[in-house]
């Protein structure tokens, strides 16, 4: 029986080697790893790989729109919300709970949006002033602070800002950024 089993195993091995030879593979390469697909590395959006513009909107009242466009060659992630402040503040403005379904991914040339409420529509906000400058930083993946340098998009003239100023999370459309 042992001779018969040896012949069967030998025949099976010979058949496997013949099949591999027929397909152009050798026994040594039969378990080779699959080829790795080349994918673009996704990075965090920063002022270094985006262009940010601030504009006035007609509705809602007392709001501005931030539009940041990926100017890099790789996709970038816009995490959380922009960290903004007007005229050299000691802290950033409040972030409203307007979280998108997922992190906003910007392919090269695509834009993300965030809405800013500059003041209380009733005029009851405190500490109001005419703003001349806005600073903007991007959050990192851990959303525990800012990454990259600071952007200073031009503030539209006659922008009144008070202590009730707030910003939305990054959104994929301007409409979503201004609805909160």
Neighbours of 101 (CB within 10 A): 6
Q: In the chain, pLDDT over 70 holds for what percent of residues? A: 75
User: What percent of the chain stands above pLDDT 90?
Assistant: 61
Contact of 100 with 79, CB cutoff 8 Å: no
Please give the pLDDT value at position 13. 43
Euclidean distance between CA atoms 162 and 166, whole angstroms:
10
Which helix (H) or strand (E) segment holds residue 128: the answer is none
**Residue 148 pLDDT more than 90?**
yes
User: What's this model's pTM, rounded to 2 decimal places?
Assistant: 0.75
Q: What is the pLDDT of residue 104?
A: 96
Question: First CA to last CA across the chain, in angstroms?
Answer: 81
* Cis status, amide bond into 60, omega within 30 of 0: yes
Compute the average pLDDT of residues 145-159.
95
d(CA 160, CA 172): 26
Neighbour-count burial of 105, counting CB atoms closer than 10 A to its CB (0-12 exposed, 13-18 middle, 19+ buried):
middle
pLDDT at 15 > cutoff 50:
no
- In 3D space, the residue among 39, 169, 51 whose CA is nearest the CA of residue 109 turns out to be 51
**For the segment 58-85, what is each residue's pLDDT rounded down to a tens digit?**
999 899 999 999 999 999 999 999 999 9
Residue 127's pLDDT is what? 79
**∠ Cα 116 144 172 (to 5°):** 40
DSSP code, position 171:
B
| Token pair in block for residue 71 | 């100017």
Alpha-carbon distances, residue 69 vs 47, 164, 172, 174 (angstroms): 10, 27, 11, 13
Rounded CA-CA distance 115/98 in Å is 10
Question: How sure is the predictor about 48, in pLDDT bands with cuts at 50, 70 and 90?
Answer: very high
| Least confident interval from 36-40, 109-113, 174-178 | 36-40
Q: pLDDT value at position 40?
A: 67
Closest to 72 in 3D by CA, of 105, 100, 101: 105
**Mean pLDDT over the full length of the chain:** 82
Does the pLDDT at position 5 exceed 90?
Answer: no
61 vs 32 pLDDT, higher one: 61
């Amino acid at each position: 029986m042992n001779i018969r089993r040896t012949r069967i195993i030998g025949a099976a091995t010979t058949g496997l080697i013949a099949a591999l030879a027929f397909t152009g593979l050798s026994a040594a390469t039969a378990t080779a790893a699959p080829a790795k697909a080349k994918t673009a590395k996704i990075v965090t959006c920063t002022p270094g790989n985006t262009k940010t513009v601030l504009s006035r909107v007609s509705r809602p009242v007392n709001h501005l729109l931030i539009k940041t466009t990926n100017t890099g060659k790789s996709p970038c992630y816009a995490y959380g919300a922009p960290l903004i402040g007007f005229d050299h503040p000691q802290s950033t403005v409040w972030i409203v709970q307007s979280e998108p379904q997922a992190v906003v991914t910007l392919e090269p040339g695509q834009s993300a949006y965030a809405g800013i409420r500059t003041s209380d529509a009733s005029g009851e906000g405190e500490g109001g002033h005419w703003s001349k400058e806005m600073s903007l930083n991007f959050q990192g993946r851990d959303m525990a602070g800012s990454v990259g340098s600071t952007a200073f998009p031009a503030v539209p003239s006659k922008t009144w800002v008070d202590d009730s100023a707030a910003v939305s999370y990054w959104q994929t459309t301007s409409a979503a950024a201004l609805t909160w």
